[in-house]
Structure 1
Amino acid sequence: MCWRKASQVSVLHLIYMDSISESYCYSRSGGSESDERASGIEASPRRYNSRKRSSERRSRKRSRRSAHRLEKHHRRSRSDRRHHSSRSRSGSSRRKRRKYSSSERSDSDERSSARRAHKHVDESTNRSVQNNGEHDVDAHAKALTYYWAKVDNDPNNFENWMRLLSYVEKANDIEAVRLSFDTFLARYPLCFGYWTKYACLELKNHNEEKCIQVYERGVSVIPLSVDLWLSYIDFLKRYEQSEEQLRAIYQRAIMVAGREFCSKELWRDYIEWEYSNKNFKAVMATYDQLLTIPTDYYKSSYSNLRTLIDNHHPEELLCEEEYRTVFSNTCRMLKAKNIKVFTNNEDSTALLPDKDREKRALTKPAIADLRLRIKESREKLFEELHTAVNRRLPFENRISRPYFHVKPLERSQLDNWKKYCEFEIREGNRERIQVLFERCLIACAMYEEMWIMYANYMETVSDVETRQIYSRACQTHYLSRKPNIHLSWAAFEERHGNFDEAAHVLDSYEKMSPGNIMIAIRRLGLERRQLLSNTENDATTDCGSLCALYERFINNETLDLKVRSFYAIKYARFQLKMRNNSEEAERIILNALEKDKQSIELYLQLVDLAYARQPFNLDLLLQTLDRAIASPDLPDSVKLQFSQRKMTALEDFSPDVAAIQSHYEAHMQFQNLVKENDKDKAATPRNGPPICEFCPFLMKKPFLCRIRLLAQVMSFTVSTLDNKQ
């Protein structure tokens, strides 16, 4: 037990020292709730909250104490360690384990066997920590193999990824970190918190260039992530980037993420930075920019703008062109009222180039009028902005999860996003529409309907951007195996005459998820329409490629036999209707019947072919019906239906009344025989599952029947009361 406590304290110290260089990345998060939102999971694998950490001095003391304990107990045998780990722990030990073992806490919803296996690996990993803090190579390799095996066996299990990333963070193996985070972020690129963690781990290993590369990859994948931009900017500030470089990165962030409605923190951070540099004109220009963008910062920014105008000379805030315009209007107004513009009698036009003299010479009424004109020129913009924000607030207030999560989104949330996007489309501002769709596709990344809606809008704007949207959607693992987005992409390419690209989209999906009937039907239709677009629709058209495609689907032995028969029927109809080749259509159906002898649909299609043959051949039709009636693979009830169809054909087309009467008598005998067989089957006792005596349902497991269970409980209760009496 002492060894366990010492190892836990030592691991805690390592975690603390590892996270010192990371703490600035999470100083804005505000605790566990922000970490949860940033990572895209309910409980982040490790809590980064610098406010709750002990001081560095206490950490050093704890490190010395844990090292002393490890030196005392590391000579214990493996059996002794198992013995001590299996003993019941005191309340304080349990509290420490609950506090610092986040991986065990994240397993609370798993099966107990999985928890024990994961706990065993964590304990063996902790035991591999030596006095100098280095991991045993073999134990580290085994742990990595274990976590990667869990991920490879079930790559869609998000918890397995969390355990892998949590382990490599502690292992101090930068190559394992890069492999794990690169693989994870390729699969889940919208988890912005893990881009930040990845960058911090690179920084901890003194790889500043790699850190910048990670941030650049992150902001290119999630350009609307305000938190990721702020983390990137904080990193650049700490490494003493020049003012021009910081301003450039701020401008990049503002251009993409600043259009997002919830971008208050980014705007405020940029304004505070420019204000600290005493660049008041840039601050004023930023406030003016905010007056044209609906954000959650619009009220505060307008209030701060008015305060800025009151506290600074107008010349410090306005660009030269606007200042000259406003100043000339002020001069004309004050002269008309015989109010001095300057404290002396100098001519205003002579003083305009000399800004310092002009600033000192302006009277208080002149400065007050300048400020009033500046405010009035922006008041109308604010009123328009206020109206625009109020029209969007009902949609914004209903958004409960604006970030990505692997859990399904509520239908009410999807409906709200859809209505919000439709509203912006009606407004007609292309920039706002695109920003809203990009923001929507973070929260709704796993839903085809939103991607298709975005692509349908962009098709009216730009074919190139529409193709990029489809490519992004189908390359993500969320939608790579969903058919609707691929069908929509193929239809888009076909509408624009790109038949080869449309075929490539459908063939790619077919290779990834074979057996989808809708994809196959669209692929066959695409090939047919391509032939019709290149040649005239007649029987002489070379349809070799289309026929080969039909044959490929029919002869695909990996498909179910019923599906292959379905394609055979499609192929026969094509030969009959498009090629006027009834003999080939009949051959296709007969070949399919040799493989699927119990297919009623194939027999029905064969009958339809006989009816459609020109000129009409009654003998061929009767032979086809007799083939179905005599088939040993069809049930009697189905044969009776074909017999009825033969009776109808004879009545409609046969000139021989003797043949009609003969089949009528045979048909009635067969019908009576089928009825007798049905009665015998109904009278035969059932050998299947019992029927519940209390309800009309077949009970494979009678104890699962709630009505039966309730009756048994009531019977037991009555008998108990009788016994007591």
Structure 2
Amino acid sequence: MAAEGSDMSSNGDVDSELETLAAEPLPETLEPSDEIPEPFAEVPEHVAIIPQPMAEAPEPMAEVPAAVPETSEENGGSGTTAPYAVPLEEGDEDEDGELPVDFERLWRVAHDNPQEFSSWTELLQYCEQEGHMTASRRALGAFLTRYPLCYGYWKKYADLERRAGNTNRAQEVCVRGLKAIPLSLDLWIHYITLLQDTLNMNLPESTQRIRSAFESAVLAAGMEFHSDRLWEMYTEWEREQGDLRAVTAVYEKVLRTPTQLYAGHFERFKAFLSAHHPRDILSTEEFKRLHLELQQSQGEGTTPAEGEEERPPGEDCPSDAASGHQYTEEQVQKMQELLLASRQKVYQQTEMEVGKRWNFEEAIKRPYFHVKPLDRAQLKAWHSYLDWEMGEAALEVQEGAAEDQEGASVSRGSRKRVLVLFERCLIACALYEEFWTKYVQYLEQHSVEEARSVYRRACEIHLSHKHSMHLQWATFEERHGNITEAGRVLENLEQTMPGLAMVRLRRAGLERRTGRLDQAEALLREAVQQSKDSPSLHAFYSIKLARLLLKLGKNAAKAKTVLLEAIELCPDNSKLHLNLLELEVAADVRGSGTGVQQCVSRALSAPLSPRTKLLFSQRGLQFAEDFGSSVQSVLTVYDEHQKLLKETGNKKRSAENGSSEEPEKISKMEDNSAMSTPSMATPPVAPPVPMTTPPPPMMGGDMSGSHSAYGYGGWYQQQQYGGYGYQNPWNYNQYYPPS
């Protein structure tokens, strides 16, 4: 360890990644400065972070999101790049020789059931027990790729590398973990402690490196309500370095930040202020302002004192910072009082902001991630807190930023605080789509790119198994004109979760809306071919393809061919017959019209229910009446319909008399119709006006169920055929005598 601090150049990559962590996901890049940057003034519009459990919460060793992307091949995965895993270096494979005996078995069990957390913990415990470095690296890398919110395992990984003497790799593990959860106070403290313990503090660059780490930490996590430990650690470290002005600068920031232990920071600041001369803890500019305030409070003007030479305008007087020895004890005490009075106003404003949030914070009982569901009270508490904070931010926009007497902006319900709260929420509620959706809707009002970043994080890491979130993402991209990305999202989703009909339909719909009908047709044809082993799904895709060919392709022949092929594979699917019937009905009626009768005959000979057959027969009779070429053809269809009615009636009576067969329930239309007993009354002189029967919506409407949210659950439910418009059939007995 003695030489660890001497090769500072070897740590350049870690430093650069840490700087990127503090400047990229959170704010716009900070400008280099000799002074400590103001962390909250520099925070950008979007905080692409995932917060960490509160400091008081126990280390959640069993925190697991339900699914995340595959790991890289180097870490033992399937080949997809692992965003947070630390890759194995050349020679790592042979570092400890062959892998332990049971490693491959446990590894395969974990990868075959990636959402089963116990399989991963068993693997990690085995690697730790065996003490095999390569196996532990591979297991931890793959585990943390899938479960990046488990900050305790990031610490375990870093400690593992440190014990092995790999200090640089331990630092790299911490940086990777902080990229995954930048609001992790425990991980920031662990990383900074690692630097303090391993860097050679005799080198001036070591001090600057630790200070930069502190700055990055408060920039990323300083607005967290439970960040007090980090702030206190920062002030104490600066005090140890002897830089009193830097200590004051840190206090200036934390006193303006609503945190749980805000009062303790103010008490420590008062003790710090009373123990030092204002000249030693304030910058030159602020000390000059304090000196002028002191003169005004004592009634002193700008006239030179007796015996004092008059100086040109702009030249400092002897009572400036360079001549502090001229101040009496009373003057020093007065300056301390003035300085404290100005900070007292800031403290009161902060106290008011903490009071507003206190009840919301108290209502949050589980701020860390866990696989166990949250109760409704917890979910409601997060929703209420987010809604209130967003309301505060909107109010601030309307009223303008609140300012204290010095003109410094006081943080209220700013947008930055809204972002931090959302990120905190998405630790405890990472498995709840409603919060990701709420976050995206808020961000989209300000920045499309920020909303896209949240979609990517949700879908590629925490909700990779939630298809609805991916569909929302694809819709978002299409709505903003990014057609290529929308197609990529849908294609990746279909590869991850094959067999989802709505995903294939969304892909086809995307191609159709962009004018690529050939691609839409190809996707549906592929789905038809791939679903032959599932007759109901094959029928579903066939109907969708036929509708596309008929309505947009204007090719009724192709549409008919698709439906006929589907009927041949699944003859008992009434939806296929109904769609084919409507296709024939919509054809040119000036032809022979045999297509309709053929379709009806095909349905009557198919293994359909008697009730369904009765509907087809009735529809055929209606078509013959409307467009038949001769009265004899109408009578022929009518006779066949009467036979079917009698057969259906006989089956019904047999069932009522105790037949062992399951009775087929006939729709209410049969009870209201006049078909059961032909009327022998004299027909009227003029036929009555028939009741209007709306055409069935088969080829023109969605046969798959509810249109909302592309839900196709209705496709697999028994259709209520009364919905097709046959509840009030015409009374054909008034036109033709009974057969």
Same-fold status (TM-score > 0.5): yes
Aligned to 2:267, what secondary structure does the other structure show?
A: helix
CA contact (8 A) 1:195 1:214 kept: yes
1:622 counterpart letter in structure 2? Q
- For 2:193 and 2:60, the matched residues in 1 are separated by 19
Aligned to 1:568, what secondary structure does the other structure show?
A: helix
Please list the CA deviations of residues 447-497 of structure 1 after superposition, one character each: whole Å capped at 9, or x if unmatched: 223223222322233333333222222221x42221112112111221222
Please list the CA deviations of residues 509-536 of structure 1 after superposition, one character each: whole Å capped at 9, or x if unmatched: 11111111221121111011111xxxxx
User: Judging changes above 3 Å, is the alpha-carbon distance between structure 1 residues 619 and 666 closer, same or farther for their aligned structure 2 residues?
Assistant: same
Aligned to 1:155: 114
Residue correspondence of structure 1 range 529-540 to structure 2 within 5 A: 529-531=513-515
CA contact (8 A) 2:620 2:637 kept: no
Q: Comparing 561-570 with 649-658, which one deviates more in the overlay?
A: 649-658
- For 1:401 and 1:561, the matched residues in 2 are separated by 47
Aligned to 1:275: 239
Q: Comparing 383-392 with 505-514, which one deviates more in the overlay?
A: 383-392
Aligned to 1:510: 494
Offset of 1:675 from its aligned partner? 0.9
Please list the CA deviations of residues 213-234 of structure 1 after superposition, one character each: whole Å capped at 9, or x if unmatched: 1111111111110001111111
CA contact (8 A) 1:224 1:257 kept: yes
Q: Comparing 310-319 with 248-257, which one deviates more in the overlay?
A: 310-319
Residue correspondence of structure 1 range 236-315 to structure 2 within 5 A: 236-240=195-199, 241=201, 242-315=206-279
2:287 counterpart letter in structure 1? Y
1:666 has 2:640 as partner? no
- For 1:607 and 1:180, the matched residues in 2 are separated by 60
1:572 counterpart letter in structure 2? A
User: Judging changes above 3 Å, is the alpha-carbon distance between structure 1 residues 661 and 179 closer, same or farther for their aligned structure 2 residues?
Assistant: closer
Aligned to 2:364, what secondary structure does the other structure show?
A: coil
Q: Comparing 366-375 with 397-406, which one deviates more in the overlay?
A: 366-375
Offset of 1:374 from its aligned partner? 1.9
- For 1:474 and 1:217, the matched residues in 2 are separated by 20
The match for 1:373 among 335, 338, 353 is 338
CA contact (8 A) 1:169 1:201 kept: no
Aligned to 1:422: 387
User: Judging changes above 3 Å, is the alpha-carbon distance between structure 1 residues 672 and 39 closer, same or farther for their aligned structure 2 residues?
Assistant: closer
- For 2:58 and 2:533, the matched residues in 1 are separated by 47
Q: Comparing 328-337 with 233-242, which one deviates more in the overlay?
A: 328-337
Aligned to 1:126: none
Aligned to 2:421: 436
CA contact (8 A) 2:507 2:520 kept: no
Q: Comparing 656-665 with 460-469, which one deviates more in the overlay?
A: 656-665
Aligned to 2:599: 624
Aligned to 1:37, what secondary structure does the other structure show?
A: coil
User: Judging changes above 3 Å, is the alpha-carbon distance between structure 1 residues 347 and 418 closer, same or farther for their aligned structure 2 residues?
Assistant: farther
1:387 has 2:352 as partner? yes
- For 2:177 and 2:428, the matched residues in 1 are separated by 17
Unaligned runs of 5+ in 2: 1-54, 65-95, 394-413, 664-739
2:220 counterpart letter in structure 1? V
Please list the CA deviations of residues 35-80 of structure 1 after superposition, one character each: whole Å capped at 9, or x if unmatched: 5435638xxxxxxxxxxxxxxxxxxxxxxxxxxxxxxxxxxxxxxx
Residue correspondence of structure 1 range 180-579 to structure 2 within 5 A: 180-240=139-199, 241=201, 242-336=206-300, 352=317, 358-428=323-393, 429-476=414-461, 478-531=462-515, 543-557=517-531, 560-579=534-553
- For 2:272 and 2:656, the matched residues in 1 are separated by 95
Aligned to 2:368, what secondary structure does the other structure show?
A: coil
CA contact (8 A) 1:39 1:192 kept: no
CA contact (8 A) 2:225 2:260 kept: yes
Please list the CA deviations of residues 360-397 of structure 1 after superposition, one character each: whole Å capped at 9, or x if unmatched: 22234433432233233233333332232222223221
- For 1:685 and 1:675, the matched residues in 2 are separated by 10
Offset of 1:194 from its aligned partner? 0.8
Offset of 1:180 from its aligned partner? 1.3
Please list the CA deviations of residues 583-621 of structure 1 after superposition, one character each: whole Å capped at 9, or x if unmatched: 322222112111111111111111222232244765433
Q: Comparing 392-401 with 412-421, which one deviates more in the overlay?
A: 412-421
- For 2:391 and 2:309, the matched residues in 1 are separated by 54
Offset of 1:559 from its aligned partner? 6.0
User: Judging changes above 3 Å, is the alpha-carbon distance between structure 1 residues 353 and 297 closer, same or farther for their aligned structure 2 residues?
Assistant: farther
Aligned to 1:37: 60
CA contact (8 A) 1:404 1:445 kept: yes
- For 1:551 and 1:357, the matched residues in 2 are separated by 85
Offset of 1:681 from its aligned partner? 6.6
- For 2:166 and 2:435, the matched residues in 1 are separated by 39
Aligned to 2:138: 179
User: Judging changes above 3 Å, is the alpha-carbon distance between structure 1 residues 684 and 664 closer, same or farther for their aligned structure 2 residues?
Assistant: closer
- How many residue pairs are counted as aligned between the two chains? 547
1:625 counterpart letter in structure 2? V
Offset of 1:311 from its aligned partner? 2.9
Offset of 1:347 from its aligned partner? 7.7
Residue correspondence of structure 1 range 588-607 to structure 2 within 5 A: 588-607=562-581
1:630 counterpart letter in structure 2? S
CA contact (8 A) 2:288 2:320 kept: no
User: Judging changes above 3 Å, is the alpha-carbon distance between structure 1 residues 593 and 197 closer, same or farther for their aligned structure 2 residues?
Assistant: same
User: Judging changes above 3 Å, is the alpha-carbon distance between structure 1 residues 258 and 559 closer, same or farther for their aligned structure 2 residues?
Assistant: farther
- RMSD of equivalent CA atoms: 3.2
Aligned to 1:555, what secondary structure does the other structure show?
A: helix
- For 2:214 and 2:532, the matched residues in 1 are separated by 56
CA contact (8 A) 1:629 1:642 kept: yes
- For 1:466 and 1:625, the matched residues in 2 are separated by 53
- For 1:388 and 1:332, the matched residues in 2 are separated by 32
CA contact (8 A) 1:351 1:358 kept: no
User: Judging changes above 3 Å, is the alpha-carbon distance between structure 1 residues 641 and 146 closer, same or farther for their aligned structure 2 residues?
Assistant: same
CA contact (8 A) 2:509 2:520 kept: no
Please list the CA deviations of residues 615-658 of structure 1 after superposition, one character each: whole Å capped at 9, or x if unmatched: 47654333322221122x22333222323333444555557363
User: Judging changes above 3 Å, is the alpha-carbon distance between structure 1 residues 669 and 413 closer, same or farther for their aligned structure 2 residues?
Assistant: same
- For 1:300 and 1:571, the matched residues in 2 are separated by 69
State TM-score, norm by structure 1: 0.69
CA contact (8 A) 1:448 1:485 kept: yes
User: Judging changes above 3 Å, is the alpha-carbon distance between structure 1 residues 493 and 307 closer, same or farther for their aligned structure 2 residues?
Assistant: same
CA contact (8 A) 2:178 2:188 kept: yes
Offset of 1:187 from its aligned partner? 1.2
CA contact (8 A) 2:531 2:537 kept: no
Identity of aligned residues (%): 34
Aligned to 2:408: none
CA contact (8 A) 1:261 1:296 kept: yes
User: Judging changes above 3 Å, is the alpha-carbon distance between structure 1 residues 558 and 503 closer, same or farther for their aligned structure 2 residues?
Assistant: farther
- For 2:322 and 2:519, the matched residues in 1 are separated by 85
1:40 counterpart letter in structure 2? E
